Structure 1
Amino acid sequence: MQVFWHRRDLRTTDNLGLAAAADAGDAVPVFCFDDAVLEHAAPPRVAFVLDALADLRERYRELGSDLVVRRGDASAVIPDVAREFDADRVVWNHDYSGLADERDEAVRAALDEQDTRHEAFHDAVLHRPGEIRTNAGDPYSVYTYFWKKWTDREKTDSAPEPDAEALADVAGDDLPSASDLGFEEPDGAIPEAGTEAARDRLESFCEDGIYRYADRRDYPADENTSRLSADLKFGTIGVREVYERTEDAMADADSEGARESVEEFQQQLAWREFYAQVLYFNQSVVTENFKDYENPIEWRDDPEGLQAWKDGETGYPIVDAGMRQLREEAFMHNRVRMIVAAFLTKDLLVDWREGYDWFRERLVDHDTANDNGGWQWAASTGTDAQPYFRIFNPTTQGERFDPDADYIKAYVPELRDVPADDIHDWPDLSLSERRSLAPDYPDPIVDHSERREEAIETFERARGDD
């Protein structure tokens, strides 16, 4: 028998590790709620995982097998399961965070002690970390050059679902509830989890939205994005299946603009792998700046400003809309993620780690590599980051990407009866004008022009400029 250990790959199709285990026959599917991992979890992600596991278990039952579910230290649980089923090999797919590395090393050591073979596969990415390097042999720290090689590399084909006879006939287990795991129900709505739901999202996007992606992806009211981030994070759909579907969309494109738009979406898959590589080779970026400055950055200790940002009460409408979307949906549009991150780190000059931690608590699609990369990009501390002197103006960002204020009005009810021009002019309106238009919406908590200059001076001091 073979044990296949599910982690961030909650699917039966296009699962390289599962396919390899099933090739040897009698594969036993296992999921372990690891207490060390749960310490870093949050209600939205726990809810999504539980729904995804229910879907996965149902699929295994349709195939004549079932999902074995355990809880505890993976380095004890996985060897125990291998002994329970007299398995001669345990198979899993790689994860690339430091926490996962420590866990997997402990599991490998425990399996070695009992002479159980083990094997891991690169499944979550099209190209494993370190496969794409500079001509000098170093990992890339600039995305553009990484992308050029990524797009030229041959991609592995998706793996078929195992046949029923390749899976072990085992009795599965009940799934715990969120409260059993020590979590409350999430505040906001969580997207439907599972492979079919992910495929529906992919198919809907590739039929239409992917051809407008390049032009409209930055406009949050359009919702012209795939919404596959949580699916890719937890592997309810395989990245090879996603890429192959985008290649089909490329073949069906009827104009050069449509083909460029499909490529723009494929670039997001490459960004995902670029940040996975950055994390893999630089585990310290989770808590430390990737970019070295001559002097420490003088972040502000501003608990009131930080709380206003978390609550969506900054008085900058596009920022507040994003933070309220996060609260209501455990999700935020990517352009708005950049805007709110820039506001926290440049307008408020609050340490990016505060924002990263809040996103980790609130996002259903939180991914260590992607979120860390995004936050350090906005803070001008990361690899290939936004230059410190290019500071988003939240007002002009709102005017450009939400010109009719449709997105803002969807999440900031205090402003629903206010004309779009006044919403975008909110920081420049007089106090009496603001009170007349929307008495319940807050005044701006900072002056952007002043804070912009202060941020530039702060980073110049960190650089050691005279």
Structure 2
Amino acid sequence: MNVHWHRRDLRAADNSALANAASFGPVLPVFVFDRQILQHGSSVRVAYMLDALSSLGKWYHEHGSTLLVTRGDPREVLPALAEAIDAENVLWNKDYSGLARERDADVRQALAEQGVRRASYHDEICHEPGSITTNDGDPYSVFTYFGRKWQDREKEEPHDAPDADKLVDPTGLSVPDRWSSTLPTLDDLGFDEPDATLQPASTDAARERLESFCAEDIYRYDDRRDYPADGCTSQLSADLKWGTIGIREVHAATVEAAERADTEDERESVEEFQSQLAWREFYTHVLFFNPEVVTENYKEYENSIEWREEPEHLSAWKTGETGYPIVDAGMRQLLSEGYMHNRVRMIVASFLTKDLMLDWREGYDWFRERLADHDTANDNGGWQWAASTGTDSQPYFRIFNPMTQGERYDPDAEYIKRYVPELADVEPEQIHSWHELSETQRRRLAPEYHAPIVDHSERREAAIEMFEAARGE
């Protein structure tokens, strides 16, 4: 008897630990609502997770098994379950965050004390931390060289889902009473219903998104990925975060798409999407070797940056009321969908850290609260890139102009108007020059929409001075 402990791998197919468990013998799948982990949760992310767990539970039921769940400390409930059902092995997939690694070490120790064999498997990314290094054996701090090696490395093939005869029906087993096949509600877990409308969370839904993307949009990705109105992105970020689809399956689909490409431009577009998968892994490696970056700047000299404290500006940024249309559209998409287009994420992050001159950690915490796809490594890497405090980051003197960014990537203001209805009847030219209009003009065109809360040109100069002072220049 083997126990597979699901965590951020809420799928049956392309699951390394589950496939290995099935090769050893019958498998009982379980999930633990870890109270310590839930302390860092949010209603949006927990709602997405519950949807994914519900789908996974249905898959197991259809294959003659049951996904058992409980609430508690994995250090206690897993050894107790293993003892009660006389399990020989407990297996799971690795998680590379500092908190998860500490917990997993404790679980291994608790199982060892009971004489239960345990094993963890590389699964979340294509190449495990430490497997792609400089020629001197050090982890990379610059993506370019990491990305080249990542692209050249052979990738594992996806794992098949286990056959039904490899899955355990727990009926008749001496399962402790605290385990159940019934999922708790958000309220049970201490969370409110999210305001955002989330995309379906399941392997079937993820595969539909992947298939649709690889059929067409992946061939336009290089040219159109930065245009939020186009929808020319995979929408797989939450699926990869929660593991409703495996990274090997995603990569294999992109390889097949490249083989179907008709032109060199199309093949290069596929490679550009693959490079985004590499960026995801790069930040996972950075976090693994530098766990302190969750709360500290990667670049030490930046610790002397004197970020401003302006609660009213932070509140306006969070609610999408800054008077900068592309920024407000992005922040409102975040509130309504638990998601934001990647180019817009960069724009709003630059605006917070360079125009408002507020600490990137304020933005990171808000994204963690509101994003269904929040991933510690990727969000931290992205925020520190925008704030010019991280590895391979945007130079501090290159500051996004939110108006020109909106004009360049949303020229018809289609995206802006979708999320900022106050501007629905305003011409794109006027939207993109909103900061230049007089108060009378703005009031006449869109009386319900805000005037800019800061002057970009002035704040740009102030931000450069702030960074130069921190660098001692």
Cα shift at 1:295 = 6.0
Secondary structure at the counterpart of residue 293 of structure 1: helix
Paired residues for 1:63-142 under 5 Å? 63-142=63-142
Amino acid at match of 2:353: T
Counterpart CA distance in 2 for 1:265 and 1:245 is: 12
Cα shift at 1:427 = 0.5
1:381 corresponds in structure 2 to 389
Stretches of structure 1 that go unaligned for 5 or more consecutive residues are none
Paired residues for 1:260-279 under 5 Å? 260-279=268-287
Question: Is the contact between residue 331 and residue 364 of structure 1 (CA under 8 Å) also seen in structure 2?
Answer: yes
| CA displacement, residues 22-66 of structure 1 (integer Å, 9 cap, x when unaligned) | 111111100000000100111111111111111111111111111
| CA displacement, residues 179-203 of structure 1 (integer Å, 9 cap, x when unaligned) | 1101111111011011000000000
Counterpart CA distance in 2 for 1:84 and 1:61 is: 22
| CA displacement, residues 198-230 of structure 1 (integer Å, 9 cap, x when unaligned) | 000000000000000000000000011000000
1:319 corresponds in structure 2 to 327
Cα shift at 1:294 = 6.6
Secondary structure at the counterpart of residue 3 of structure 1: strand
Distance 1:200 1:295, change over 3 A: closer
Paired residues for 1:254-333 under 5 Å? 254-293=262-301, 296-333=304-341
1:460 counterpart (445, 453, 468): 468
Distance 1:295 1:357, change over 3 A: closer
2:176 corresponds in structure 1 to none
Question: Is the contact between residue 43 and residue 183 of structure 1 (CA under 8 Å) also seen in structure 2?
Answer: yes
Secondary structure at the counterpart of residue 120 of structure 1: strand
How many pairs align?
465
2:255 counterpart (229, 247, 265): 247
Cα shift at 1:141 = 0.6
Counterpart CA distance in 2 for 1:73 and 1:317 is: 45
Is 1:421 aligned with 2:429? yes
2:186 corresponds in structure 1 to 178
1:62 corresponds in structure 2 to 62
| CA displacement, residues 336-378 of structure 1 (integer Å, 9 cap, x when unaligned) | 0000000000000000000000000000000000000000000
CA RMSD of aligned residues (A): 0.8
Question: Is the contact between residue 226 and residue 343 of structure 2 (CA under 8 Å) also seen in structure 1?
Answer: yes
With 286-295 and 35-44 compared, the bigger mean Cα shift is at 286-295
Stretches of structure 2 that go unaligned for 5 or more consecutive residues are 172-179
| CA displacement, residues 261-289 of structure 1 (integer Å, 9 cap, x when unaligned) | 00000001100000000000000000000
Paired residues for 1:13-24 under 5 Å? 13-24=13-24
2:439 counterpart (423, 431, 440): 431
1:167 corresponds in structure 2 to 167
Counterpart CA distance in 1 for 2:432 and 2:24 is: 61
Amino acid at match of 1:268: Q
Amino acid at match of 2:91: V
Amino acid at match of 2:114: Q
Amino acid at match of 1:462: A
Is 1:191 aligned with 2:199? yes
Amino acid at match of 2:15: N
Counterpart CA distance in 2 for 1:295 and 1:271 is: 25
1:9 corresponds in structure 2 to 9
Counterpart CA distance in 2 for 1:424 and 1:62 is: 53
What percentage of aligned pairs have identical amino acids?
A: 66
1:411 corresponds in structure 2 to 419
Secondary structure at the counterpart of residue 32 of structure 1: strand
Cα shift at 1:10 = 0.4
Secondary structure at the counterpart of residue 393 of structure 2: coil
Amino acid at match of 1:110: A
Question: Is the contact between residue 302 and residue 389 of structure 2 (CA under 8 Å) also seen in structure 1?
Answer: no
Question: Is the contact between residue 19 and residue 162 of structure 1 (CA under 8 Å) also seen in structure 2?
Answer: yes
2:210 corresponds in structure 1 to 202
TM-score where L is the length of structure 2: 0.98
Counterpart CA distance in 2 for 1:245 and 1:295 is: 42
Counterpart CA distance in 2 for 1:25 and 1:108 is: 20
Counterpart CA distance in 2 for 1:351 and 1:361 is: 16
2:175 corresponds in structure 1 to none
Counterpart CA distance in 1 for 2:211 and 2:17 is: 25
Question: Is the contact between residue 190 and residue 329 of structure 1 (CA under 8 Å) also seen in structure 2?
Answer: yes
Question: Is the contact between residue 294 and residue 464 of structure 1 (CA under 8 Å) also seen in structure 2?
Answer: no
Amino acid at match of 2:215: E
Cα shift at 1:84 = 2.0
Counterpart CA distance in 2 for 1:117 and 1:305 is: 53
Question: Is the contact between residue 295 and residue 464 of structure 1 (CA under 8 Å) also seen in structure 2?
Answer: no
| CA displacement, residues 303-344 of structure 1 (integer Å, 9 cap, x when unaligned) | 000000001000000000000000000000000000000000
Counterpart CA distance in 1 for 2:303 and 2:32 is: 44
Amino acid at match of 1:33: F
Distance 1:18 1:418, change over 3 A: same
Question: Is the contact between residue 14 and residue 160 of structure 2 (CA under 8 Å) also seen in structure 1?
Answer: yes
Counterpart CA distance in 2 for 1:289 and 1:462 is: 13
Secondary structure at the counterpart of residue 37 of structure 1: helix
Counterpart CA distance in 2 for 1:256 and 1:157 is: 25
Counterpart CA distance in 2 for 1:336 and 1:254 is: 30
Question: Is the contact between residue 295 and residue 461 of structure 1 (CA under 8 Å) also seen in structure 2?
Answer: no
Counterpart CA distance in 2 for 1:166 and 1:83 is: 20
Is 1:366 aligned with 2:383? no
Secondary structure at the counterpart of residue 331 of structure 1: coil
